[in-house]
Amino acid sequence: METENGEGQVQVHLKTKQEHYAVPDVPYAIEGSVTTTELNIFLNALLQDKDVGNVDFDFLVFDEYLRGRLCDHLREKAISFEDAIEIEYVERFPAPEPQDCLLHDDWVSAVKTRGKWILTGCYDNTINIWTSKGKHKLTIPGHTAPIKAVDWISLDDEAGRFVSSSQDQTAMLWKWNIASNAVECISVCKGHERGVDSVGVSPDAQRFATGSWDTMLKIWSAELDDSAEGASKRVKESGVRTPKMTLQGHRESISAVQWMDGTTLLTGSWDHTLKVWDLNMEGIKTEISTNKSIFDANYSNLNRLIVTASADKNLRLYDARTNRKSFIFISYLFNFVTSNNFTEGSVVRNTYLGHNAWVQTVMWSTTEEFLFVSGAYDNQNKLWDCRSPKAPLYDLLGHGEKVFDIDWTNPKYIVSGGADNTVRVFKSRKAQGEDMDTK
């Protein structure tokens, strides 16, 4: 019951999906003023007989992490103190540990991991390959302007293939012989009329997509032998590759490109829109209009949600699926003609506040459904749980200048590059198995 000062007792049920931490399902009377700290003390006391040691937990109250006093959280959600409140608790994700600092000669604008290898792109026009232990393997010249994006195509014990894109208006396909540590350029991909800002490889590794300041989205073959019908002998012999498809729809630079599946692409743009493209239709399937330029966007195959980084210092969570259905239903009722265009308010699920400058880069975890990382012009990386919009789980400190790109493709390592000429590597202590870097 709530007292005059709003800090009375509350009846709660403590629930968890982690059965080894389960406590009896009975109502507990606790003070409404409790915080996460007091709840942790109380819960660990209940768990003493289970011999699990002292465990740090986070607490979910009505699908959102508790970040202050319970009574304030309940008032914000307009929940009566008379009701029995269900609190779900989960073991707190451990803080990633800073590992290596990889020094470059200029700004590091692109990073991507695959296995134990880290691929980086730099403003000195070079690509670099490193081990996750910080050992430098190779510097690769070839582009004539800063690298803006890189992505792995394939990798095994003998060879790796990857793609890079640059402000020199090209993308380049590379093959790396790991044993001899030699790299060759397979093809130069020409077709964009301005710098190529983003690149993404398809799930089957047979194609890749590029987004450019010329506002065009282009689809290319990623195969070693691109002997397309109709391609001239001169083009084939020169190693120049031309796009398989060009898609027009954005009005400004395409800052993010990602394959959602084998025929569906997500793009984000400085024109304040997110677009979902259907390659079978060769057109836009869904468009979400926002009120700020989008610097990065990332889709999770685990939860089917999109998170964006933008110029207003905030990250936003979008779900185009459920709102698409409701929007079409409303359009049908009122006889609207629609092409699946949505305003931000109709599909935004949450806004995440914490950075104090432009947020430049964002990426979901590939193994943890609720977690994502971000990097910003405030020199900081942050690790978030999408159920905690008020505050990040952790600040990942180390950069001395703006953060340009962040990657969490390998669940064991969060890797970021910035204007301090470094790549910072953070190891996730929750990742299972042996250290991937055995060499």
As a whole number, the mean pLDDT across the chain is 89
Higher pLDDT, 8 or 27: 27
For 163-172, 231-240, 337-346, 376-385, which range has the lowest pLDDT when averaged over its residues?
337-346
Give the pLDDT score at 432: 46
Q: What is the mean pLDDT of residues 200-215?
A: 98
330: confidence class by pLDDT, cuts 50, 70, 90 = very low
For 222-226, 244-248, 378-382, which range has the lowest pLDDT when averaged over its residues?
222-226
Which residue(s) pair with 119 in the sheet?
112, 129
Encoded amino acid at 114, one letter: R
For 18-32, 221-235, 268-282, 299-313, which range has the lowest pLDDT when averaged over its residues?
221-235
Fold of 97-427: Methylamine Dehydrogenase; Chain H (2.130.10)
Give the pLDDT score at 214: 97
Share above pLDDT 90 across residues of the chain, in percent, rounded to a whole number: 80
Q: In what order do the strands lie in the sheet with 264-269?
A: 254-261, 264-269, 273-278, 283-289, 341-343
For 32-46, 285-299, 326-340, which range has the lowest pLDDT when averaged over its residues?
326-340
Give the pLDDT score at 239: 87
Grouping H, G, I as helix, E, B as strand and the rest as coil, residue 152 is: strand
Please report, for residues 56, 118, 199, 289, the alpha-carbon distance to residue 172 in angstroms, rounded to integers and kept in the order given.
47, 18, 11, 32
pLDDT at 319 over 60: yes
| Residue 31 near residue 9 (C-beta atoms within 8 A) | yes
Give the pLDDT score at 420: 98
Give the pLDDT score at 3: 47
Query: Tokens 């540590």 — which residue?
Result: 181
Give the pLDDT score at 435: 47
Provide DSSP, 348-367: EEEEE---SS-EEEEEE-SS
| Residue 44 near residue 30 (C-beta atoms within 8 A) | no
What are the domain boundaries of the chain?
9-91, 97-427
Answer yes or no: pTM beyond 0.75: yes
- Phi/psi at 414 (nearest 5 deg)? -100, 125
Which residue(s) pair with 296 in the sheet?
309
pLDDT at 436 over 50: no
Q: What is the mean pLDDT of residues 328-353?
A: 55
Q: Among positive and negative, which fits the CA dihedral 199, 203, 208, 214?
A: negative
Q: Which of 60, 61, 30 is nearest to 45 (CA)?
A: 30
6: confidence class by pLDDT, cuts 50, 70, 90 = low
CA distance 298 to 292: 16
Q: Which of 130, 137, 99 is nearest to 116 (CA)?
A: 130
pLDDT digits (tens, 9 = 90+) for 272-300: 999 999 999 999 999 999 889 999 999 99
Instruction: Decide if domain 9-91 falls under CATH 1.10.10.10.
Output: no
- What is the maximum span of the chain, computed from C-alpha positions, in angstroms? 85
Give the pLDDT score at 227: 57
Give the pLDDT score at 388: 94
pLDDT at 80 over 70: yes
Q: What is the mean pLDDT of residues 378-383?
A: 97
Contacts of residue 53, Cβ cutoff 8 Å, sequence gap at least 6: none
* 8-state DSSP, 48: G
257: confidence class by pLDDT, cuts 50, 70, 90 = very high
Q: Taking the mean position of all CA atoms in its chain, how far away is CA 209?
A: 17
Q: What is the mean pLDDT of residues 110-121?
A: 97
Encoded amino acid at 67, one letter: R
**Residue 422: exposure state from Cβ atoms within 10 A (0-12, 13-18, ≥19):** buried
Q: What is the mean pLDDT of residues 250-268?
A: 97
Provide DSSP, 106-148: S-EEEEEEETTEEEEEETTS-EEEEETTS-EEEEE---SS-EE
CA distance 405 to 110: 5
